[in-house]
Each structure stands twice: as structure tokens, then as C-alpha cells.
Chain A
Amino acid sequence: MKKFLPLLTLVLALGYVGAVLVPPHNTGAFDLVGFGRLPVLVNGRIKPLDTVARTSLLIMQGRQAVSDPTLPEPMVASPTEWLADVLFAPAKADDYPTFRVSSAQSPELVELMGLTEEQTKISYKDASARVMAVADFLPRTRTRFSFNQLAPKLAELDKQYQLAEPVDAAKRTPFQREVLHLHESLVLYQRLQHSLVPPGEDGFLADLLNFQKQLPQGIDALRAKQENRPHDEALEKQMIEIGNQFMTLDRYAYVRAVPPAPDAKDQTAWSTTGAALLEAYGTGQVDPTALVYAALAQTWRQHQPEQFNHLVEESRKQLEKRFASQLAKSDFETKFNAAEPFYRSTVLYAFAFFVAIFSWLKWPDVLGRCAFYLVLVAFLTATAGIATRMWLEGRPPVTNLYSSALFVGWGAAGLCLILEQIYRNGIGSAAAGVVGFLTLLIAHHLSLSGDTLEMMRAVLDTNLWLATHVVIVVSGYAATFLSGFLALIYIFRGLFTRSLDKATADTLARMVYGIVCFATLCSLIGTILGGIWADQSWGRFWGWDPKENGALIIVIWNAIILHARWGGMVKQRGLMCLAVFGNIVTSWSWFGVNMLGIGLHSYGFMDEAFAWLVAFVVSQLAIIGLANLPLEKWRSFKAVVPRAAAPVAVR
């Protein structure tokens, strides 16, 4: 049995990951999967409606599920179903609790929105759930509210928004930040509602068909009015009225759902349904895509799944003729969204970490192998995820902060697999587990700000430099972090367990040294390449920009570690402390400089992350402090250190 454990682990892990290859299926009569795969243009990128649904929910409420804590089942089966309601049945969607207003983040906001205790308190019907709530295992207050619950106080929110908006991002209070966030969420929600058909207009399809029928006479009437000739005034008025509706749609729409005409000059310029409908006044033709969406809206509201599914299928067939490659991508993106490879990878890394730690206590060979397989599968899953993102975007792996987090974890885990293959002592797997897990957790939190596949600004738009400078620098981050985490393993095992014998300690020291060498190489070359890129695009090699300074500090820190070791200034323990401090240096360069909110290539401001950064720095300093405890306090060395044995004491 014991012999087969690694193999069993491998099979289970592969099964866990392989389960995602089963395509998503519909839970009801409506073909929502097909609907979710329809492509639209948002923020300059063609993406499936499925992605729009997921990222909108993440922005608004920090999660993809729409649910109520007192209901056993989620309120919608998929994000796409929620989106369909927002787009086509707004009255229903207005009741979904999809706006995050948390008293933990800002009690003032709860007060501002006039949410009473009755509304925020969760009263569980089930007795056991009530007990769980008292014990804090279940939430006691609601943090998500519906549009209808917030609607009475929108005017107040708007006033506070006007006051908070001009304040410098770095200087906003938590209340101001939450006001801005809620305001942005509400704007996004209302823009979504205006994306395809006018919200609340149940007869829009009939209006459009009527409009189509009367269009020739209508245009004549409009022309006659312009030339001050006698005309059908009722018809002219009707034409103006529906035109105003189209204009409103065009002004507020969030997605651009109508593909460009076959003869249009710019084949990437999709337009809103509103803009496409306004074209009718010139061409005399009502846009077919807009009609299809109006019909989809009606069949959705009137619960006619056959017609709905038929329309989805037909519009797909139409798109297939001209946009086959875009459809292939957005289909794959839908599968990628459902598969959640990074989530699965996170779970596997966490398991790998615990199995590896356990292997130091019992069955080192068998459990060590299990941990290795878990890391391997997690790494391959993340690789597939990153490769998919690269294909979707047509870019090198790192294009924004989110993808840098993915890549740091990936690079560190890759190095760990090599270490583990060489040393087979579980250390590489444990380090991969913890670095992989943490970086993916960071990535998850970064993904809450919206679609992570963004278009690149012109300044950054060069694949050559993204592929070289950025990738190499981020590999340097990964390696520096890895050396720091290996040092943490050394310190924890040495201080708190008896498992750090001399051979293991020496091995760890060699690993840290090797990884520091690699980190020096990557960060130095990456930083200089960054300088060369800056020289190519701005005419200065080095400008002391915060991001550049951050990268330079990492290079210098690695150089310090190497020179201190070569010069005999530090021995094993000193090397470990320096490597742990490398964690602080790297986290500062990676995130700290972004929090300054200045510099040519800072990615954006993240205020909440600041508290975490401070906590991380403090924890690393504390560990360095612990590592400097006298050797008698180290459980692993206590037995080894003979009294007054000076030469060993300097390790």
C-alpha cells in the first residue's frame, strides 16, 4: 500500500485537474453556455459574455457566485445567468445582492446607504446554523446588497462621490475609497443594463420591428421636417423618440456587441447596439445583430427557451462566417474561465506543502515523492493556465501585476522542481508549495479589480521587451523569494524541530547560495535590459524611477549576499538571515513601489495591500530576530553544540 501511495497521489491529482476538461453544461432549458460564448468588445478586447459576467461580479462584490447566506442554493446557476438577467430582465436583477457594502471595511458607508440592522443582520432559520453563527463559523451580518436596497440613497452616495473623487488617490480615507468603489460598481451595473436593449422596455422588439416597417416613410418625414415641408408629424415624433432611446443606449452601453460591417475600414471597431441602430437612419436598414439581441431579451423574459436557443445558435452561425478565429478564442476563454486552472493549482500547492512538511517527520521517501508529484501537477496546471493567457492575449507571459504574480509563483515552483529532482529531500516541494500557494493567493486578490487580460498601453507595447526585460526581472523576483523561503525553512526546522541535521543544513545552504546566484543573474540582466528599453523609448537609460530603483535594490541586495559570503563575513546562519531580508527587499520592489502611486510604469494603486505588506515585512524582521537566538535555543543544534565549542557557534 505504502509503495503505491505516490502513484495514487499522482492519479488523484491528475483526476482533480482533469475534471475541468469536461465542458461546462447547461443546468436549465436555456442554452446559457452558448449565450456566454457570444463575443463582445469591452475595453478594447473581444471577449465572451461569460468573461464580462465574471469580471463584473468580481469588481462589484469580490466573488463570482450570486447567493444569499440564508438560502441553501446560489440564486443563479452561473455568472452568465446573472448577466442575462441584468441585460434582459433588469427588474429581476435589481433584487440580487451583488453590491459589496461591508461594515468591516467602512461602517460609515453602511450608514450612508441607510441600511438598517434588520437588513444587515442574518437570521438563520436552521437551529444548527444559528449556533454556527454564534461561534463565528457563519457570517452574522450581510455584506452584499441589491440595487433595490441601495436605490433610495443613490443621491446621497452621489454627493459623497463628488466630494471624494477630487481627493488624491493616496490621501483618501477608507470611507472615501469605499464610496468610490460602490459608485463605480453601480455605474458599471447600470451601464451593463444599457448594454443591449433599453432596460425596462418590454416591447422593444415590437418597437424595432415597427420601426423597421416605417423606416422609409419615417426618413422621408424627418427630411421633410428639415426642409420645412409638410409631413406626418406623429411619425416624425415617433422617429425622434426611438432615436433618443438608441442614443441613450449608445451613450451608456458597457459592451460593444455589434461587429463592424464587412466593408468597414477598421475591422476591430465593434459598436454598441445603440450606435448600430442609429445607422438605420442613414442606411434604411435595421441592424440584424441589434434585432437578435432584442429578440433574445424578449424570449428570456417570456421564458421561451427554444426560441432563445435557436437565436443563440443562429447568431453564432452568422459570426462564424467572418470571425472564426475570434470565436475560437472566446470559446476557449469560456472553457478557461470554467476550468479555473489557477484555483486548482492553488489547492494542489497547499496539499503539496503539508505533505512535504509531513515527509520530514515520517516516511520521507514515500511522502516526499507524493509531494513532488503534487507540485509537478500544480506546476503543469499553472503552466497550462499561463500558456492559455498568452495565447488569448498574444503576448509574453507578464503584462500586468496580476500576471507577474502568476509568473513569480510559476518560476519559483519550476526552480523548486529542479532542486527537488537533485536533492530529493522534500525541501524543494515544501518551498514550491508555500511560494506557489502565496503567489496564487496574491494573484486572486489582484484579479478582483477586473479583467486581467488588459490591452497594453502604447508605451509598453513591444513584445520584444516584454518577453525579455519583464520576464527576466520577474524571474529574478521569483528566485529571490525562493531563496528567502528556503532560508525560512532552514530557520524554522532548525529552531523548532530536531530535523535539521548537519547534512540537511549544508544542503539548504548550498540551495540558497545557488538560487541567490541565479537571482543575481536574472535581476541584474533584467534591470539592465529595462534600462536599454527605457533608452529605446524615452531616451534615457536610467532615470531613478521608483520601479527602476526597486529592481536595482534587488540586484544590490543579491550582490551583498554574494560578497558577504565570498568575503567570509557571514556563515550559514548569516546567509539565511540575509536571504530572509531578501524577501522584504523583493516585496518592496514588487508591491511597495506601486503604492507610491508615481513613476512612469507603476501598475496602479492598491491601498489594502499596504497593510499586508507592512505585516509581511514585520514578520520577516521577527524571523530574522528569531534566527539570531543563540544556538543553544535551536532545537536541532542543541544536541550538537558542545559547551563552549566556539568554532561551531559561528555557523
Chain B
Amino acid sequence: MNATLRQFRDFFVSLRLTVVLLALSIVLIFAATIAQVDIGVLGVQQRYFRTFFVLWKIGEVPVPVFPGGYFLGGLLFCNLIAAHLYRFKMTWRKTGIFLTHLGLILLLVGELLSGLLQDDSNMRLEEGETKNYSESYQYYELAITDTTSPDYDDVVVIPEKLLAKGDVIQHPKLPFRVVPKAYFTNVDLQRRTDAPNAPPSPATTGFGPNFIATPAPFDYKPDALNVPAAYIELAGAEGPIGTWLTTYLPPQFMTLPPQTFSYGGRSWKIALRPERSYKPFAVTLLKFSHDIYPGTDIPKNFSSRVKITTPDGRDDREVLIYMNNPLRYAGLTFFQASFDPNNDKATILQVVRNPGWRLPYVACVMMAVGLLVQFGIHLIGFFRKRRATAVPA
């Protein structure tokens, strides 16, 4: 083996590298924890952990200032595997260490998988309501619905990404072009009657002219309310039909009137809404219970009794979902996440798809057993030695 290659190998298998990487990860985690005050958990996940480098903007140029989570995690992973392959000896004394590190590898893989594959959304249901879709926490979509037929709706949805890009969209199902004039991730909504001197709205029709939407910075705080808004112009072959202000507020805050119009002899509806993901089954909320301790506002428990039905009738069952007792169904997990403070008949379920959810459980058992074996061997050795030295004394 030539010297460079050996150096390379020694670098990757060294314990020194392990210690340096671990120390760097402490710095990263600490900095990320502090940064959460300003940019929230989601911001931190994106900018510190699910990235190769932590970037700081100096002027307008992003400069990498510190290795990110993928970088450190990846190197640690290589270090771990390399060290074990290099030093691997199957002896009883090493089983503990081996098992612990195997568990750690599994944990890291599990985290990577859920980072890449996990999908969170929520489902708000009022008692008696049935839904076959869940809604995204983060992303929105523009839905243009042809409501002419009394029997069905014909919907075209445009993801928020395209709205932000601003390119003109032409779709075979729409007899008009969709021209996104402006898209904001967060606005302050105000009634025009409250600020009569404000400049005229870019919107020409719908409720838009009655509102003022002032762009605001996106708020990363965990309980912050961000109100997305888009000005959308629709234009037919003969010219513009109108410009709408589309926006979305969670129902517990305010329900905006639907915006409808007629064009080409058909009836249409335009709305901005949380991105939906449809399920091959429907969930009905039968009963939501929410208790507090008497004389306080401390919640004691929440639970939702729901019914799951599939169109083919294969499944039709009732389930009780409550704190720490989620429903796992069709690769999804339904959690009792929250409630609507203004409506005691509404539940908010969190819907999670995470194919790797079992890995941490396995990893936990492996690492626990591994450490117990390892430290157990140490402890027995220690007592044996003491007994041996104590006898002659």
C-alpha cells in the first residue's frame, strides 16, 4: 500500500476523526438551538441539518461558514463503517461495541430516510364531516374549479412553486391563461374600510378590491400564522377577464367568501388552499372529546372517534385516536395533534407517512443491549480485579 493511500485510510479509521466530528456536531447543534429563536424549527432543519454547509449571507453572497448536518453525519457514518471494517475482530469482548455502533448506523440511516421520505400533513374535521384528503402545513396550491356540472367538480390545481415563479400557465382544461402577477408567502390582511388612504388594489374583481394585502416577512416561529396570498390574472383569447386576490386563512380565524365567476358559458371558482393529498379512503369524525381539569384551562385529554371507510367497502371500522395512541392505517399514521379553540366539535389530526418509523425502535434495543454488554464486561472485570487485589491485603 502506498503512503498516500495509507494516510487516507488512517484518516478515515482514526478515533481522532470521530472525536473531532463529534465536537463539531456539538457546535452545530448548539448554534442551531440558538438560531431557533429567530428562524424556528423548520428554518433550522433546512439551514443547519438537512444541508451540507451552513451558509451565511455576507452581502448578497452566501458563504459556507460551517459544515452542515449532512456533511458531519455523512463523514461520521464513513468513519464508523471504515473503523469497524478495518478493526473488525469477532471476539466476545467486542460484541457490545459492535452492537452499539450497528444500532447507531441504523439510527442515522433511519433519520436520513425520514428526512427524505417523511411527509406531514393535517386533517381538520368537524363532527359528522368526512374527508378523503389531508392538507399540507407548509405548502399551498391554487385551485381553479369548473363547477358547472351539478354532479362533479373539475379541478385544476397549480402548486405554489409555479405561482412564485410567475410564468404564464396554459392548461388544456382551462379556456383561459393563468397569469400569476405576484405571490407572497406571508401578508398582513386589512380591510380597505380600515385604511381608506391605501393605494388601489391590483385586484379588479372578487373580494380583492376590499382588502389590502401588505407583504410581510415569513415568520418561522412554531405557532406563527403565515398568510399566503397571490394576485392572479386570468386572460382569455380576447383579453383579460380580471385579477383576483387569492389568499388562505385557517378556518378557526376567518372564512373568506368563495370567489366565483362565469366564463365561456361555464361557472368557475378560484381559491388558494393548503396543498391537498388525496387518500384511497375516507375518514369521518364521529365524536371529539376534549376535557380540561376543573377550574383550570389545562387540557386533560383529547380524543377523536373516527370511522374509516374505503370506496370498495372492504374497510368500514371505528377507531378511537387519542394522545399517544395513534392510528396506523395504509402506511399512514394519524395522531391527535390539536383542537380548534373556537370550535369544540372540531379535531385536528396529524397525518404522517414515514416508512422508516420502525428503525429507531430496533436501533434503540440494539444500542441499549450493546452498551449494557460493554459496560457489564467492564464492571465484571473491575470487580474481579478488586477481589484479586483485596485477597492478599
Q: Which residues of A contact B (CB under 8 A)?
A: 41-45, 170, 256, 266, 268-270, 422, 455, 457-459, 461-462, 465, 510, 514, 517-518, 520-521, 524-525, 528-529, 531-533, 535-546, 549-550, 552-553, 556-557, 559-560, 563-564, 566-567, 569, 585, 588, 593, 596-600
For the complex, is B372 an interface residue (Cβ under 8 Å from A)?
Answer: yes
25 A-B pairs with C-beta separation under 8 A: A43-B295, A44-B294, A44-B300, A45-B293, A458-B323, A461-B301, A462-B323, A510-B382, A525-B367, A528-B360, A528-B367, A531-B360, A535-B360, A539-B326, A541-B354, A545-B41, A546-B33, A549-B29, A549-B30, A550-B33, A553-B29, A569-B16, A598-B37, A599-B36, A599-B222
- Of all chain B residues, the one with the shortest Cβ separation from A423 is B386
Assess the B18–A563 pair: CB atoms within 8 A. Answer: yes
Assess the B294–A266 pair: CB atoms within 8 A. Answer: yes
A599 CA to B298 CA in the complex, in Å?
18
Q: Which residues of A contact B99 (CB under 8 A)?
A: none
How far does the Cβ of B350 sit from chain A's closest Cβ, in whole Å?
5
Assess the B333–A539 pair: CB atoms within 8 A. Answer: yes
Q: Which residues of B contact A (CB under 8 A)?
A: 14-16, 18-19, 22-23, 25-26, 29-30, 32-34, 36-37, 41, 44-45, 48-49, 107, 110-111, 114, 118, 120, 221-222, 292-296, 298-302, 323-326, 333, 335, 337, 350, 352, 354, 357, 360-361, 363-364, 367-368, 371-372, 375, 378-379, 382, 386
- Of all chain B residues, the one with the shortest Cβ separation from A458 is B299
Query: Most chain-B CB neighbours within 10 Å: which of A42, A510, A528, A566?
Result: A528
Q: Which residues of B contact A560 (CB under 8 A)?
A: 19, 22-23, 26
Assess the A556–B295 pair: CB atoms within 8 A. Answer: no
Q: Which residues of B contact A465 (CB under 8 A)?
A: 324
Q: Which residues of B contact A585 (CB under 8 A)?
A: 26
How far does the Cβ of B311 sit from chain A's closest Cβ, in whole Å?
26
Q: Which residues of A contact B110 (CB under 8 A)?
A: 541
Q: Which residues of A contact B350 (CB under 8 A)?
A: 538-539
A521 CA to B293 CA in the complex, in Å?
37
> Which of these, B41, B120, B382, contacts A539 with CB under 8 Å?
B120
A270 CA to B296 CA in the complex, in Å?
12
Assess the A44–B298 pair: CB atoms within 8 A. Answer: yes
Given the contacts A270-B295, A525-B364, A544-B44, A520 and B371 also touching, CB distance less than 8 Å: yes
Given the contacts A455-B296, A528-B367, A546-B36, A538 and B360 also touching, CB distance less than 8 Å: no
- Of all chain A residues, the one with the shortest Cβ separation from B375 is A517
Query: Most chain-B CB neighbours within 10 Å: which of A528, A529, A539, A585?
Result: A539
Q: Which residues of B contact A543 (CB under 8 A)?
A: 41, 45
Q: Which residues of B contact A588 (CB under 8 A)?
A: 30
A510 CA to B383 CA in the complex, in Å?
12
Assess the A517–B296 pair: CB atoms within 8 A. Answer: no
A647 CA to B306 CA in the complex, in Å?
72
Assess the B294–A270 pair: CB atoms within 8 A. Answer: yes
Assess the A563–B111 pair: CB atoms within 8 A. Answer: no
Assess the A528–B364 pair: CB atoms within 8 A. Answer: yes
Assess the B26–A553 pair: CB atoms within 8 A. Answer: yes
Q: Which residues of B contact A569 (CB under 8 A)?
A: 15-16, 19
- Of all chain B residues, the one with the shortest Cβ separation from A533 is B324
How far does the Cβ of A555 sit from chain B's closest Cβ, in whole Å?
10
Q: Which residues of A contact B337 (CB under 8 A)?
A: 538
A504 CA to B257 CA in the complex, in Å?
79
- Of all chain B residues, the one with the shortest Cβ separation from A543 is B41
Interface contacts beyond A525-B364, A564-B19: sample of 17 additional A-B pairs, CB < 8 Å, sorted by A: A41-B295, A44-B292, A455-B298, A465-B324, A517-B375, A528-B364, A536-B324, A537-B324, A539-B120, A543-B45, A544-B29, A544-B48, A545-B41, A560-B19, A567-B18, A596-B34, A598-B37
A593 CA to B118 CA in the complex, in Å?
27
How far does the Cβ of B130 sit from chain A's closest Cβ, in whole Å?
22
> Which of these, B15, B37, B41, B335, contacts A566 with CB under 8 Å?
B15
Given the contacts A521-B372, A563-B15, A43 and B293 also touching, CB distance less than 8 Å: yes
Main secondary structure of the interface of B (DSSP, over half): helix
Query: Most chain-A CB neighbours within 10 Å: which of B45, B294, B326, B386?
Result: B294
Given the contacts A514-B382, A536-B324, A536-B326, A567 and B16 also touching, CB distance less than 8 Å: yes
A598 CA to B352 CA in the complex, in Å?
23
How far does the Cβ of B321 sit from chain A's closest Cβ, in whole Å?
11
Given the contacts A532-B364, A593-B33, A596-B33, A539 and B15 also touching, CB distance less than 8 Å: no
- Of all chain B residues, the one with the shortest Cβ separation from A566 is B15
Q: Which residues of A contact B326 (CB under 8 A)?
A: 536-537, 539
> Which of these, A529, A536, A563, contacts B364 with CB under 8 Å?
A529
Q: Which residues of A contact B19 (CB under 8 A)?
A: 560, 563-564, 567, 569
Q: Which residues of A contact B22 (CB under 8 A)?
A: 556, 559-560, 563
Given the contacts A44-B295, A598-B222, A549 and B367 also touching, CB distance less than 8 Å: no
Q: Which residues of B contact A537 (CB under 8 A)?
A: 323-324, 326, 335
Assess the B15–A461 pair: CB atoms within 8 A. Answer: no
A525 CA to B363 CA in the complex, in Å?
10
How far does the Cβ of B116 sit from chain A's closest Cβ, in whole Å?
14
Assess the B375–A521 pair: CB atoms within 8 A. Answer: yes
> Which of these, A42, A270, A458, A553, contacts B301 with CB under 8 Å?
A458
A266 CA to B22 CA in the complex, in Å?
53
A42 CA to B37 CA in the complex, in Å?
34
Assess the A541–B111 pair: CB atoms within 8 A. Answer: yes
Q: Which residues of B contact A510 (CB under 8 A)?
A: 382
Assess the B30–A553 pair: CB atoms within 8 A. Answer: yes
Assess the A540–B352 pair: CB atoms within 8 A. Answer: yes
A170 CA to B38 CA in the complex, in Å?
12
How far does the Cβ of A376 sit from chain B's closest Cβ, in whole Å?
22
Assess the A542–B324 pair: CB atoms within 8 A. Answer: no
Assess the A44–B293 pair: CB atoms within 8 A. Answer: yes
Assess the B41–A544 pair: CB atoms within 8 A. Answer: yes
A465 CA to B325 CA in the complex, in Å?
13
- Of all chain A residues, the one with the shortest Cβ separation from B351 is A539
Assess the A256–B294 pair: CB atoms within 8 A. Answer: yes
Q: Which residues of A contact B379 (CB under 8 A)?
A: 514
Assess the A458–B382 pair: CB atoms within 8 A. Answer: no
A569 CA to B20 CA in the complex, in Å?
11
- Of all chain A residues, the one with the shortest Cβ separation from B103 is A528
How far does the Cβ of B46 sit from chain A's closest Cβ, in whole Å?
11
Assess the A542–B26 pair: CB atoms within 8 A. Answer: no
How far does the Cβ of B336 sit from chain A's closest Cβ, in whole Å?
8
A519 CA to B330 CA in the complex, in Å?
40
A585 CA to B23 CA in the complex, in Å?
12
How far does the Cβ of A172 sit from chain B's closest Cβ, in whole Å?
15
Q: Which residues of A contact B367 (CB under 8 A)?
A: 524-525, 528
How far does the Cβ of B58 sit from chain A's closest Cβ, in whole Å?
25
> Which of these, B26, B323, B354, B364, contacts A461 with CB under 8 Å?
B323
